[in-house]
Structure 1
Protein backbone atom coordinates (compact mmCIF):
# COMPACT_ATOMS: atom_id res chain seq x y z
CA UNK A 1 0.00 0.00 0.00
CA UNK A 2 0.92 3.63 -0.35
CA UNK A 3 1.26 5.13 3.15
CA UNK A 4 1.44 8.53 4.77
CA UNK A 5 2.99 8.52 8.24
CA UNK A 6 2.39 11.24 10.86
CA UNK A 7 4.41 11.43 14.08
CA UNK A 8 6.70 13.73 16.03
CA UNK A 9 8.52 12.51 19.19
CA UNK A 10 11.09 9.75 19.70
CA UNK A 11 8.50 7.03 20.55
CA UNK A 12 7.15 7.35 16.99
CA UNK A 13 10.55 6.66 15.38
CA UNK A 14 10.56 2.84 15.75
CA UNK A 15 7.23 2.69 13.91
CA UNK A 16 8.51 4.94 11.14
CA UNK A 17 11.66 2.85 10.69
CA UNK A 18 9.71 -0.41 10.77
CA UNK A 19 7.28 0.75 8.06
CA UNK A 20 10.12 2.17 5.98
CA UNK A 21 11.70 -1.31 6.01
CA UNK A 22 8.44 -2.98 4.94
CA UNK A 23 7.17 -3.73 1.45
CA UNK A 24 4.85 -0.71 1.59
CA UNK A 25 5.52 2.65 -0.07
CA UNK A 26 5.99 5.53 2.36
CA UNK A 27 4.91 8.48 0.25
CA UNK A 28 5.51 11.17 2.90
CA UNK A 29 6.12 11.79 6.58
CA UNK A 30 4.16 14.49 8.40
CA UNK A 31 5.65 15.96 11.55
CA UNK A 32 5.49 19.13 13.58
CA UNK A 33 7.67 22.14 12.78
CA UNK A 34 11.24 22.43 14.04
CA UNK A 35 11.18 23.65 17.65
CA UNK A 36 13.60 25.83 19.64
CA UNK A 37 15.47 23.67 22.16
CA UNK A 38 18.07 24.24 24.84
CA UNK A 39 19.25 27.41 26.48
CA UNK A 40 20.19 28.92 23.13
CA UNK A 41 16.77 28.01 21.70
CA UNK A 42 18.25 26.45 18.57
CA UNK A 43 15.64 25.36 16.03
CA UNK A 44 15.80 21.57 16.05
CA UNK A 45 13.98 19.02 13.85
CA UNK A 46 11.63 16.62 15.60
CA UNK A 47 12.98 13.08 16.15
CA UNK A 48 10.64 11.87 13.41
CA UNK A 49 11.85 14.57 10.99
CA UNK A 50 15.45 13.61 11.69
CA UNK A 51 14.70 9.92 11.13
CA UNK A 52 12.77 10.66 7.92
CA UNK A 53 15.67 12.71 6.57
CA UNK A 54 18.02 9.85 7.43
CA UNK A 55 15.76 7.46 5.53
CA UNK A 56 15.50 9.79 2.55
CA UNK A 57 11.74 10.25 2.90
CA UNK A 58 9.80 13.39 1.93
CA UNK A 59 8.81 15.43 4.99
CA UNK A 60 5.80 17.72 5.44
CA UNK A 61 6.33 20.00 8.44
CA UNK A 62 3.16 21.40 9.98
CA UNK A 63 1.83 22.10 13.48
CA UNK A 64 -1.76 21.73 12.27
CA UNK A 65 -3.28 19.37 9.76
CA UNK A 66 -5.03 22.19 7.94
CA UNK A 67 -6.39 22.60 4.42
CA UNK A 68 -2.93 23.01 2.90
CA UNK A 69 -1.64 19.80 4.49
CA UNK A 70 -4.83 17.99 3.45
CA UNK A 71 -4.30 19.12 -0.15
CA UNK A 72 -0.66 17.97 -0.14
CA UNK A 73 -1.56 14.57 1.31
CA UNK A 74 -4.50 14.10 -1.05
CA UNK A 75 -2.17 14.75 -4.01
CA UNK A 76 -0.16 11.70 -2.94
CA UNK A 77 -3.24 9.45 -3.27
CA UNK A 78 -2.45 7.37 -0.16
CA UNK A 79 -4.13 4.08 0.61
CA UNK A 80 -3.67 4.43 4.38
CA UNK A 81 -2.68 7.06 6.89
CA UNK A 82 -0.67 5.94 9.93
CA UNK A 83 -0.30 8.17 12.98
CA UNK A 84 1.86 7.70 16.08
CA UNK A 85 2.01 10.58 18.58
CA UNK A 86 1.86 13.34 16.00
CA UNK A 87 0.53 15.91 18.45
CA UNK A 88 -2.49 17.19 16.56
CA UNK A 89 -5.98 16.08 15.54
CA UNK A 90 -6.94 14.57 12.19
CA UNK A 91 -10.28 15.98 11.11
CA UNK A 92 -12.43 15.71 8.02
CA UNK A 93 -11.83 15.88 5.12
CA UNK A 94 -8.31 14.61 5.86
CA UNK A 95 -9.70 11.77 7.99
CA UNK A 96 -11.33 10.24 4.90
CA UNK A 97 -8.64 11.16 2.39
CA UNK A 98 -6.73 7.84 2.39
CA UNK A 99 -8.63 4.93 0.86
CA UNK A 100 -8.56 3.02 4.17
CA UNK A 101 -8.66 6.08 6.40
CA UNK A 102 -6.15 6.42 9.26
CA UNK A 103 -4.94 4.02 11.93
CA UNK A 104 -3.32 5.09 15.20
CA UNK A 105 -0.81 3.32 17.44
CA UNK A 106 -1.73 4.32 21.00
CA UNK A 107 0.26 3.34 24.08
CA UNK A 108 -2.49 1.91 26.29
CA UNK A 109 -5.05 -0.88 26.36
CA UNK A 110 -8.02 1.06 25.07
CA UNK A 111 -10.47 2.31 26.23
CA UNK A 112 -8.27 2.83 29.31
CA UNK A 113 -6.23 6.01 29.10
CA UNK A 114 -7.47 7.66 25.96
CA UNK A 115 -5.63 10.92 25.42
CA UNK A 116 -2.21 12.55 25.37
CA UNK A 117 -0.31 10.87 28.23
CA UNK A 118 -1.45 7.25 28.63
CA UNK A 119 1.83 5.78 29.87
CA UNK A 120 2.32 8.51 32.46
CA UNK A 121 -1.21 8.14 33.82
CA UNK A 122 -0.92 4.35 33.94
CA UNK A 123 2.11 4.63 36.23
CA UNK A 124 0.59 7.37 38.38
CA UNK A 125 -2.54 5.25 38.82
CA UNK A 126 -0.49 2.20 39.75
CA UNK A 127 -1.72 0.01 36.88
CA UNK A 128 -0.17 -3.47 36.98
CA UNK A 129 -0.64 -4.01 33.23
CA UNK A 130 -0.63 -1.76 30.22
CA UNK A 131 0.13 -2.12 26.53
CA UNK A 132 -0.48 -0.71 23.08
CA UNK A 133 -3.42 -0.64 20.70
CA UNK A 134 -3.80 -0.02 16.98
CA UNK A 135 -7.21 1.37 16.15
CA UNK A 136 -9.16 3.05 13.37
CA UNK A 137 -9.09 6.80 13.77
CA UNK A 138 -12.54 8.39 14.16
CA UNK A 139 -13.65 11.93 15.05
CA UNK A 140 -14.09 11.05 18.75
CA UNK A 141 -10.83 11.00 20.73
CA UNK A 142 -9.17 7.54 20.60
CA UNK A 143 -12.56 5.86 20.30
CA UNK A 144 -12.25 3.83 17.10
CA UNK A 145 -12.47 0.07 16.69
CA UNK A 146 -9.29 -1.83 17.59
CA UNK A 147 -7.37 -3.92 15.03
CA UNK A 148 -4.86 -5.33 17.48
CA UNK A 149 -3.27 -4.89 20.87
CA UNK A 150 -0.43 -6.14 23.02
CA UNK A 151 -0.33 -6.28 26.81
CA UNK A 152 2.66 -6.24 29.17
CA UNK A 153 3.16 -6.28 32.92
CA UNK A 154 4.42 -2.91 34.16
CA UNK A 155 8.01 -3.35 35.40
CA UNK A 156 8.24 -2.50 39.08
CA UNK A 157 10.83 0.26 38.80
CA UNK A 158 10.06 1.57 35.31
CA UNK A 159 9.72 5.28 34.66
CA UNK A 160 7.39 6.65 32.00
CA UNK A 161 10.41 7.09 29.75
CA UNK A 162 11.48 3.47 30.21
CA UNK A 163 8.00 2.08 29.65
CA UNK A 164 7.27 4.28 26.64
CA UNK A 165 10.54 3.25 24.98
CA UNK A 166 9.69 -0.44 25.44
CA UNK A 167 6.14 -0.01 24.14
CA UNK A 168 7.40 2.01 21.17
CA UNK A 169 9.56 -0.91 20.02
CA UNK A 170 6.94 -3.61 20.58
CA UNK A 171 4.18 -1.39 19.24
CA UNK A 172 6.07 -0.88 15.98
CA UNK A 173 5.81 -4.61 15.26
CA UNK A 174 2.12 -4.63 16.16
CA UNK A 175 1.53 -1.66 13.86
CA UNK A 176 3.36 -3.29 10.97
CA UNK A 177 1.31 -6.46 11.38
CA UNK A 178 -1.92 -4.45 11.24
CA UNK A 179 -0.79 -2.57 8.12
CA UNK A 180 0.01 -5.90 6.46
CA UNK A 181 -3.40 -7.27 7.44
CA UNK A 182 -5.20 -4.24 6.01
CA UNK A 183 -3.23 -4.58 2.79
CA UNK A 184 -4.07 -8.27 2.60
CA UNK A 185 -7.75 -7.79 3.36
CA UNK A 186 -7.67 -9.88 6.54
CA UNK A 187 -7.80 -7.10 9.14
CA UNK A 188 -10.71 -7.16 11.57
CA UNK A 189 -11.42 -4.30 13.98
CA UNK A 190 -13.57 -4.77 17.07
CA UNK A 191 -15.29 -2.14 19.22
CA UNK A 192 -13.54 -1.07 22.41
CA UNK A 193 -14.88 -2.67 25.57
CA UNK A 194 -14.48 -1.76 29.23
CA UNK A 195 -14.34 1.37 31.35
CA UNK A 196 -13.17 4.50 29.56
CA UNK A 197 -10.60 6.68 31.30
CA UNK A 198 -8.75 9.73 30.03
CA UNK A 199 -5.09 10.69 30.17
CA UNK A 200 -4.81 14.45 29.89
CA UNK A 201 -1.52 16.14 29.09
CA UNK A 202 0.58 16.61 32.22
CA UNK A 203 1.82 19.95 33.50
CA UNK A 204 4.28 21.13 36.13
CA UNK A 205 1.74 20.80 38.95
CA UNK A 206 1.31 17.10 38.14
CA UNK A 207 5.00 16.69 38.95
CA UNK A 208 4.69 18.14 42.46
CA UNK A 209 5.24 15.33 44.94
CA UNK A 210 2.39 14.85 47.41
CA UNK A 211 4.28 13.50 50.41
CA UNK A 212 1.13 12.76 52.40
CA UNK A 213 0.11 10.09 49.87
CA UNK A 214 1.05 6.43 50.53
CA UNK A 215 4.51 5.31 49.44
CA UNK A 216 3.25 3.38 46.40
CA UNK A 217 1.37 6.45 45.16
CA UNK A 218 4.41 8.70 45.69
CA UNK A 219 6.65 6.26 43.83
CA UNK A 220 4.09 5.92 41.04
CA UNK A 221 3.78 9.68 40.60
CA UNK A 222 7.53 10.24 40.54
CA UNK A 223 8.07 7.48 37.99
CA UNK A 224 5.04 8.53 35.98
CA UNK A 225 6.28 12.09 35.47
CA UNK A 226 9.88 11.07 34.70
CA UNK A 227 11.37 12.40 32.50
CA UNK A 228 8.53 14.82 31.65
CA UNK A 229 7.26 17.05 33.19
CA UNK A 230 9.55 15.90 36.02
CA UNK A 231 9.01 15.30 39.74
CA UNK A 232 9.83 18.11 42.15
CA UNK A 233 9.49 19.26 45.72
CA UNK A 234 10.74 22.12 47.89
CA UNK A 235 13.51 21.90 50.48
CA UNK A 236 14.37 24.97 52.58
CA UNK A 237 12.40 27.09 50.12
CA UNK A 238 14.39 25.87 47.11
CA UNK A 239 13.06 23.67 44.34
CA UNK A 240 14.52 20.16 44.18
CA UNK A 241 13.97 17.85 41.22
CA UNK A 242 13.68 14.18 42.12
CA UNK A 243 15.03 12.08 39.26
CA UNK A 244 15.22 8.53 40.65
CA UNK A 245 13.72 6.82 43.70
CA UNK A 246 13.32 3.36 45.20
CA UNK A 247 11.26 1.59 47.83
CA UNK A 248 12.77 1.71 51.32
CA UNK A 249 14.31 -1.35 52.97
CA UNK A 250 12.13 -3.15 55.49
CA UNK A 251 14.18 -1.89 58.45
CA UNK A 252 13.79 1.78 57.53
CA UNK A 253 12.48 3.83 60.45
CA UNK A 254 9.16 5.68 60.06
CA UNK A 255 9.28 9.32 58.97
CA UNK A 256 6.67 12.07 58.91
CA UNK A 257 5.41 12.91 55.40
CA UNK A 258 8.01 15.06 53.67
CA UNK A 259 10.71 14.64 56.33
CA UNK A 260 14.21 13.68 55.21
CA UNK A 261 16.70 11.54 57.10
CA UNK A 262 19.89 9.54 56.63
CA UNK A 263 19.50 5.74 57.09
CA UNK A 264 22.89 4.05 56.71
CA UNK A 265 24.02 5.44 53.38
CA UNK A 266 20.50 6.01 52.08
CA UNK A 267 18.60 9.29 51.99
CA UNK A 268 15.04 8.63 53.09
CA UNK A 269 11.91 10.72 52.56
CA UNK A 270 8.75 10.19 54.57
CA UNK A 271 5.36 9.60 52.94
CA UNK A 272 1.86 8.91 54.20
CA UNK A 273 2.90 5.32 54.86
CA UNK A 274 6.44 3.91 54.57
CA UNK A 275 9.42 6.10 53.62
CA UNK A 276 11.06 5.93 50.19
CA UNK A 277 14.69 6.25 49.09
CA UNK A 278 15.90 9.29 47.16
CA UNK A 279 18.53 8.07 44.72
CA UNK A 280 19.20 10.90 42.24
CA UNK A 281 18.19 14.55 42.61
CA UNK A 282 18.87 17.88 40.95
CA UNK A 283 19.01 21.03 43.09
CA UNK A 284 18.03 24.34 41.52
CA UNK A 285 20.81 25.69 39.33
CA UNK A 286 22.87 22.51 39.48
CA UNK A 287 23.24 19.26 37.60
CA UNK A 288 21.89 15.86 38.54
CA UNK A 289 23.68 14.22 41.47
CA UNK A 290 23.43 11.33 43.87
CA UNK A 291 21.09 12.17 46.73
CA UNK A 292 23.84 11.30 49.23
CA UNK A 293 26.12 13.95 47.70
CA UNK A 294 23.34 16.53 47.86
CA UNK A 295 22.63 15.51 51.46
CA UNK A 296 26.15 16.41 52.53
CA UNK A 297 25.19 20.03 52.03
CA UNK A 298 22.41 19.70 54.58
CA UNK A 299 23.37 19.62 58.27
CA UNK A 300 20.38 17.89 59.76
CA UNK A 301 16.95 16.44 59.08
CA UNK A 302 14.96 18.93 57.00
CA UNK A 303 11.18 18.97 56.49
CA UNK A 304 9.99 19.50 52.94
CA UNK A 305 8.18 22.81 52.69
CA UNK A 306 4.55 22.52 51.76
CA UNK A 307 4.29 18.86 52.72
Structure 2
Protein backbone atom coordinates (compact mmCIF):
# COMPACT_ATOMS: atom_id res chain seq x y z
CA UNK A 1 0.00 0.00 0.00
CA UNK A 2 1.25 3.45 -0.88
CA UNK A 3 1.81 5.81 2.06
CA UNK A 4 2.64 9.47 2.41
CA UNK A 5 4.61 10.32 5.54
CA UNK A 6 4.62 13.70 7.29
CA UNK A 7 7.21 14.50 9.94
CA UNK A 8 10.02 16.88 10.77
CA UNK A 9 12.32 16.24 13.79
CA UNK A 10 14.72 13.39 14.53
CA UNK A 11 12.11 11.67 16.70
CA UNK A 12 10.02 11.06 13.56
CA UNK A 13 12.85 9.34 11.67
CA UNK A 14 12.46 5.88 13.31
CA UNK A 15 8.87 5.66 12.06
CA UNK A 16 9.91 6.68 8.55
CA UNK A 17 12.68 4.06 8.57
CA UNK A 18 10.26 1.39 9.83
CA UNK A 19 7.79 2.18 7.07
CA UNK A 20 10.53 2.07 4.44
CA UNK A 21 11.50 -1.39 5.72
CA UNK A 22 7.88 -2.59 5.77
CA UNK A 23 5.79 -4.19 3.03
CA UNK A 24 4.40 -0.76 2.17
CA UNK A 25 5.72 1.92 -0.20
CA UNK A 26 6.46 5.42 1.05
CA UNK A 27 5.43 7.38 -2.02
CA UNK A 28 6.41 10.80 -0.65
CA UNK A 29 7.51 12.58 2.49
CA UNK A 30 6.09 15.90 3.68
CA UNK A 31 8.21 17.98 6.03
CA UNK A 32 8.63 21.55 7.17
CA UNK A 33 10.64 23.94 4.98
CA UNK A 34 14.39 24.22 5.58
CA UNK A 35 15.18 26.23 8.70
CA UNK A 36 18.09 28.40 9.75
CA UNK A 37 20.13 26.73 12.50
CA UNK A 38 23.46 27.16 14.28
CA UNK A 39 25.60 30.21 14.75
CA UNK A 40 25.97 30.68 11.01
CA UNK A 41 22.16 30.63 10.60
CA UNK A 42 22.51 28.57 7.44
CA UNK A 43 19.46 26.88 5.94
CA UNK A 44 19.32 23.18 6.85
CA UNK A 45 16.82 20.49 5.85
CA UNK A 46 14.90 18.72 8.59
CA UNK A 47 16.14 15.33 9.87
CA UNK A 48 13.16 13.68 8.15
CA UNK A 49 14.05 15.35 4.85
CA UNK A 50 17.63 14.08 5.14
CA UNK A 51 16.44 10.53 5.85
CA UNK A 52 13.94 10.59 2.98
CA UNK A 53 16.49 11.85 0.49
CA UNK A 54 18.88 9.09 1.56
CA UNK A 55 16.23 6.59 0.46
CA UNK A 56 15.46 8.45 -2.76
CA UNK A 57 11.94 9.33 -1.62
CA UNK A 58 10.40 12.51 -3.07
CA UNK A 59 10.23 15.28 -0.45
CA UNK A 60 7.54 17.96 -0.31
CA UNK A 61 8.15 21.10 1.77
CA UNK A 62 4.98 23.18 1.52
CA UNK A 63 4.90 26.53 3.27
CA UNK A 64 1.18 25.91 3.68
CA UNK A 65 -0.73 22.65 3.35
CA UNK A 66 -3.75 24.63 2.13
CA UNK A 67 -1.87 25.58 -1.05
CA UNK A 68 -3.73 24.13 -4.09
CA UNK A 69 -0.40 23.11 -5.61
CA UNK A 70 0.33 20.97 -2.55
CA UNK A 71 -3.05 19.24 -2.87
CA UNK A 72 -2.22 18.40 -6.48
CA UNK A 73 1.16 16.98 -5.42
CA UNK A 74 -0.51 14.94 -2.70
CA UNK A 75 -3.01 13.48 -5.17
CA UNK A 76 -0.18 12.60 -7.56
CA UNK A 77 1.43 10.32 -4.96
CA UNK A 78 -1.55 7.92 -5.23
CA UNK A 79 -1.13 7.26 -1.51
CA UNK A 80 -4.05 5.60 0.27
CA UNK A 81 -3.13 6.61 3.82
CA UNK A 82 -1.08 9.33 5.46
CA UNK A 83 1.11 8.86 8.55
CA UNK A 84 2.03 11.84 10.73
CA UNK A 85 4.73 11.99 13.41
CA UNK A 86 5.59 15.43 14.81
CA UNK A 87 5.06 17.23 11.52
CA UNK A 88 4.61 20.62 13.15
CA UNK A 89 1.71 22.07 11.17
CA UNK A 90 -2.05 21.59 11.09
CA UNK A 91 -3.81 19.84 8.22
CA UNK A 92 -7.03 21.35 6.95
CA UNK A 93 -10.18 19.40 6.20
CA UNK A 94 -9.51 19.17 2.44
CA UNK A 95 -6.12 17.58 3.16
CA UNK A 96 -7.60 15.19 5.74
CA UNK A 97 -10.18 14.07 3.18
CA UNK A 98 -7.73 13.71 0.31
CA UNK A 99 -6.65 10.11 1.04
CA UNK A 100 -8.79 6.96 0.93
CA UNK A 101 -8.01 5.87 4.50
CA UNK A 102 -7.33 9.36 5.83
CA UNK A 103 -4.42 10.16 8.13
CA UNK A 104 -3.13 8.46 11.24
CA UNK A 105 -1.00 10.17 13.87
CA UNK A 106 1.57 8.82 16.34
CA UNK A 107 1.34 10.68 19.63
CA UNK A 108 3.68 10.09 22.57
CA UNK A 109 1.19 9.55 25.37
CA UNK A 110 -1.65 7.21 26.25
CA UNK A 111 -4.54 9.29 25.02
CA UNK A 112 -6.65 11.03 26.19
CA UNK A 113 -3.91 11.95 28.68
CA UNK A 114 -1.51 14.69 27.61
CA UNK A 115 -2.96 15.86 24.33
CA UNK A 116 -0.83 18.60 22.81
CA UNK A 117 2.71 19.60 21.97
CA UNK A 118 4.79 18.38 24.93
CA UNK A 119 3.38 15.08 26.24
CA UNK A 120 6.69 13.49 27.23
CA UNK A 121 7.95 16.60 29.02
CA UNK A 122 4.71 17.07 30.90
CA UNK A 123 4.41 13.42 31.93
CA UNK A 124 7.88 13.45 33.49
CA UNK A 125 7.30 16.79 35.19
CA UNK A 126 3.99 15.56 36.60
CA UNK A 127 5.63 12.49 38.11
CA UNK A 128 3.69 9.95 36.03
CA UNK A 129 4.87 6.38 36.48
CA UNK A 130 3.69 5.15 33.07
CA UNK A 131 3.32 6.77 29.68
CA UNK A 132 3.20 5.36 26.16
CA UNK A 133 2.33 6.05 22.56
CA UNK A 134 -0.96 6.11 20.71
CA UNK A 135 -1.83 5.82 17.02
CA UNK A 136 -5.13 7.48 16.21
CA UNK A 137 -7.13 8.68 13.22
CA UNK A 138 -6.59 12.38 12.70
CA UNK A 139 -9.55 14.73 13.12
CA UNK A 140 -9.67 18.51 13.25
CA UNK A 141 -9.83 18.59 17.07
CA UNK A 142 -6.49 18.42 18.92
CA UNK A 143 -5.34 14.79 19.36
CA UNK A 144 -8.97 13.74 19.82
CA UNK A 145 -9.44 11.16 17.06
CA UNK A 146 -10.43 7.51 17.58
CA UNK A 147 -7.62 5.22 18.73
CA UNK A 148 -6.20 2.47 16.51
CA UNK A 149 -3.41 1.20 18.75
CA UNK A 150 -1.57 1.90 22.01
CA UNK A 151 1.62 0.80 23.76
CA UNK A 152 2.73 1.64 27.29
CA UNK A 153 6.18 2.34 28.76
CA UNK A 154 7.35 2.77 32.34
CA UNK A 155 9.01 6.08 33.17
CA UNK A 156 12.32 5.36 34.88
CA UNK A 157 13.58 7.37 37.83
CA UNK A 158 16.47 8.77 35.78
CA UNK A 159 14.58 9.32 32.53
CA UNK A 160 14.92 12.63 30.75
CA UNK A 161 12.66 13.68 27.93
CA UNK A 162 15.47 12.69 25.59
CA UNK A 163 15.91 9.14 26.85
CA UNK A 164 12.19 8.45 27.21
CA UNK A 165 11.35 9.90 23.82
CA UNK A 166 14.08 7.75 22.29
CA UNK A 167 12.41 4.58 23.56
CA UNK A 168 8.93 5.75 22.62
CA UNK A 169 10.09 6.67 19.11
CA UNK A 170 11.38 3.16 18.49
CA UNK A 171 8.37 1.40 20.00
CA UNK A 172 5.95 3.79 18.36
CA UNK A 173 7.51 3.12 14.97
CA UNK A 174 6.71 -0.58 15.28
CA UNK A 175 3.19 0.27 16.41
CA UNK A 176 2.61 2.46 13.34
CA UNK A 177 3.70 -0.29 10.95
CA UNK A 178 1.41 -2.78 12.70
CA UNK A 179 -1.54 -0.38 12.42
CA UNK A 180 -0.87 0.29 8.72
CA UNK A 181 -0.66 -3.46 8.09
CA UNK A 182 -4.10 -3.94 9.64
CA UNK A 183 -5.56 -0.96 7.78
CA UNK A 184 -4.53 -2.57 4.49
CA UNK A 185 -5.84 -5.95 5.63
CA UNK A 186 -9.15 -4.38 6.64
CA UNK A 187 -9.25 -6.00 10.08
CA UNK A 188 -8.80 -3.05 12.44
CA UNK A 189 -11.38 -0.99 14.28
CA UNK A 190 -11.06 2.44 15.85
CA UNK A 191 -12.12 3.08 19.46
CA UNK A 192 -13.38 6.52 20.51
CA UNK A 193 -11.39 8.22 23.23
CA UNK A 194 -13.14 8.47 26.62
CA UNK A 195 -14.43 11.87 27.58
CA UNK A 196 -12.95 11.67 31.07
CA UNK A 197 -9.23 11.66 31.82
CA UNK A 198 -8.38 14.35 29.27
CA UNK A 199 -5.29 16.45 30.05
CA UNK A 200 -3.26 18.85 27.95
CA UNK A 201 0.48 19.07 27.42
CA UNK A 202 1.03 22.68 26.48
CA UNK A 203 4.29 23.54 24.75
CA UNK A 204 7.12 24.46 27.12
CA UNK A 205 8.47 27.98 26.73
CA UNK A 206 11.91 29.09 27.83
CA UNK A 207 10.33 30.84 30.79
CA UNK A 208 8.49 27.64 31.75
CA UNK A 209 11.89 25.93 32.04
CA UNK A 210 13.14 28.29 34.75
CA UNK A 211 13.82 26.46 38.03
CA UNK A 212 11.94 27.55 41.14
CA UNK A 213 14.25 26.58 44.01
CA UNK A 214 11.41 27.12 46.49
CA UNK A 215 9.84 23.86 45.34
CA UNK A 216 10.60 20.44 46.89
CA UNK A 217 13.67 18.59 45.66
CA UNK A 218 11.64 15.83 43.98
CA UNK A 219 9.67 18.41 41.97
CA UNK A 220 12.85 20.20 40.88
CA UNK A 221 14.35 16.85 39.82
CA UNK A 222 11.29 16.10 37.66
CA UNK A 223 11.32 19.63 36.25
CA UNK A 224 14.96 19.42 35.17
CA UNK A 225 14.59 15.95 33.64
CA UNK A 226 11.44 17.00 31.81
CA UNK A 227 13.24 20.01 30.32
CA UNK A 228 16.26 17.97 29.20
CA UNK A 229 17.43 18.29 26.48
CA UNK A 230 14.97 20.99 25.38
CA UNK A 231 14.17 23.70 26.19
CA UNK A 232 16.74 23.16 28.97
CA UNK A 233 16.13 23.93 32.65
CA UNK A 234 17.89 27.08 33.82
CA UNK A 235 18.51 29.49 36.64
CA UNK A 236 20.30 32.83 37.03
CA UNK A 237 23.53 33.68 38.81
CA UNK A 238 24.31 37.40 39.12
CA UNK A 239 21.97 38.10 36.22
CA UNK A 240 23.58 35.52 33.91
CA UNK A 241 21.67 32.46 32.77
CA UNK A 242 22.96 29.01 33.74
CA UNK A 243 21.49 25.86 32.21
CA UNK A 244 21.13 22.98 34.62
CA UNK A 245 21.23 19.31 33.64
CA UNK A 246 19.89 16.29 35.59
CA UNK A 247 20.82 16.41 39.25
CA UNK A 248 20.94 14.18 42.33
CA UNK A 249 18.73 14.55 45.39
CA UNK A 250 20.73 14.62 48.63
CA UNK A 251 19.57 13.01 51.86
CA UNK A 252 19.95 16.10 54.04
CA UNK A 253 19.03 19.76 54.06
CA UNK A 254 21.85 22.21 54.79
CA UNK A 255 20.98 25.25 52.66
CA UNK A 256 18.20 27.76 52.13
CA UNK A 257 16.27 27.47 48.83
CA UNK A 258 18.36 28.77 45.92
CA UNK A 259 21.60 29.05 47.89
CA UNK A 260 24.41 27.10 46.23
CA UNK A 261 27.42 25.90 48.20
CA UNK A 262 30.52 25.65 45.99
CA UNK A 263 32.71 22.74 47.10
CA UNK A 264 35.83 21.19 45.63
CA UNK A 265 33.96 18.14 44.38
CA UNK A 266 30.33 19.23 44.15
CA UNK A 267 27.89 22.10 43.94
CA UNK A 268 24.99 21.68 46.35
CA UNK A 269 21.81 23.77 46.17
CA UNK A 270 19.07 24.26 48.75
CA UNK A 271 15.41 23.58 47.99
CA UNK A 272 12.19 23.56 50.01
CA UNK A 273 13.12 20.09 51.26
CA UNK A 274 16.51 18.37 50.92
CA UNK A 275 19.47 19.76 48.99
CA UNK A 276 20.24 18.76 45.41
CA UNK A 277 23.66 18.13 43.88
CA UNK A 278 24.19 19.51 40.40
CA UNK A 279 25.53 17.36 37.57
CA UNK A 280 26.30 19.23 34.36
CA UNK A 281 25.73 22.95 33.92
CA UNK A 282 26.15 25.25 30.94
CA UNK A 283 26.95 28.94 31.36
CA UNK A 284 25.55 31.25 28.70
CA UNK A 285 27.67 31.14 25.54
CA UNK A 286 29.84 28.25 26.75
CA UNK A 287 29.88 24.48 26.52
CA UNK A 288 28.33 22.19 29.11
CA UNK A 289 30.66 21.22 31.94
CA UNK A 290 30.72 19.44 35.27
CA UNK A 291 29.22 21.64 37.98
CA UNK A 292 32.31 21.31 40.18
CA UNK A 293 34.49 22.58 37.30
CA UNK A 294 32.13 25.50 36.84
CA UNK A 295 32.31 26.26 40.57
CA UNK A 296 36.10 26.32 40.53
CA UNK A 297 35.94 29.03 37.89
CA UNK A 298 34.07 31.44 40.15
CA UNK A 299 37.21 32.98 41.61
CA UNK A 300 37.18 31.24 44.97
CA UNK A 301 33.52 31.89 45.82
CA UNK A 302 32.15 29.38 48.30
CA UNK A 303 28.51 30.38 47.98
CA UNK A 304 26.28 31.94 45.33
CA UNK A 305 22.54 32.55 45.12
CA UNK A 306 20.43 31.24 42.25
CA UNK A 307 17.47 33.33 41.19
TM-score norm. by structure 1 comes to: 0.95
- In the alignment, is the contact (CA less than 8 A) between 2:221 and 2:246 conserved in 1? no
Query: How many residues end up aligned between the 2 structures?
Result: 303
Q: Per the alignment, in what secondary structure is the counterpart of residue 133 of structure 1?
A: strand
Moved over 6 A (4+): none
Matches within 5 A, 1:38-77: 38-67=38-67, 68-77=69-78
* 1:141 CA displacement: 0.6
1:217 aligns with 2:222: no
Matches within 5 A, 1:154-193: 154-193=155-194
- In the alignment, is the contact (CA less than 8 A) between 1:34 and 1:43 conserved in 2? yes
Deviations along 1:203-253, whole A, 9 cap, x unmatched?
1101100111111111111111111111110112221111231222x2x34
1:78 aligns with 2:76: no
- In the alignment, is the contact (CA less than 8 A) between 1:260 and 1:269 conserved in 2? yes
Q: Which blocks of at least 5 consecutive residues in structure 2 are unaligned? A: none
Deviations along 1:9-67, whole A, 9 cap, x unmatched?
00000000000111111110000011111000111110000000011100001243123
Tell me, in whole angstroms, the C-alpha distance in 2 between the residues paired with 1:120 and 1:69.
Answer: 33
- RMSD of Structure 2 on Structure 1 (CA): 1.3
**What is the match of residue 100 of structure 2?**
99
Tell me, in whole angstroms, the C-alpha distance in 1 between the residues paired with 2:126 and 2:63.
Answer: 31
1:256 aligns with 2:250: no
TM-score norm. by structure 2 comes to: 0.95
Deviations along 1:79-132, whole A, 9 cap, x unmatched?
101000000111111101110000000000101111111111111111111010
Q: Which blocks of at least 5 consecutive residues in structure 1 are unaligned? A: none
**What is the match of residue 280 of structure 2?**
280
Tell me, in whole angstroms, the C-alpha distance in 2 between the residues paired with 1:91 and 1:263.
Answer: 56
Matches within 5 A, 1:105-116: 105-116=106-117
**What is the match of residue 246 of structure 1?**
248
1:136 aligns with 2:171: no
* 1:262 CA displacement: 4.5
1:229 aligns with 2:227: no
Q: Per the alignment, in what secondary structure is the counterpart of residue 120 of structure 1?
A: helix
Tell me, in whole angstroms, the C-alpha distance in 1 between the residues paired with 2:118 and 2:127.
Answer: 14
Tell me, in whole angstroms, the C-alpha distance in 1 between the residues paired with 2:57 and 2:285.
Answer: 41
Deviations along 1:144-179, whole A, 9 cap, x unmatched?
111111111101111111111110011000111000
**What is the match of residue 150 of structure 1?**
151
Tell me, in whole angstroms, the C-alpha distance in 1 between the residues paired with 2:255 and 2:75.
Answer: 62
Q: Per the alignment, in what secondary structure is the counterpart of residue 211 of structure 2?
A: coil
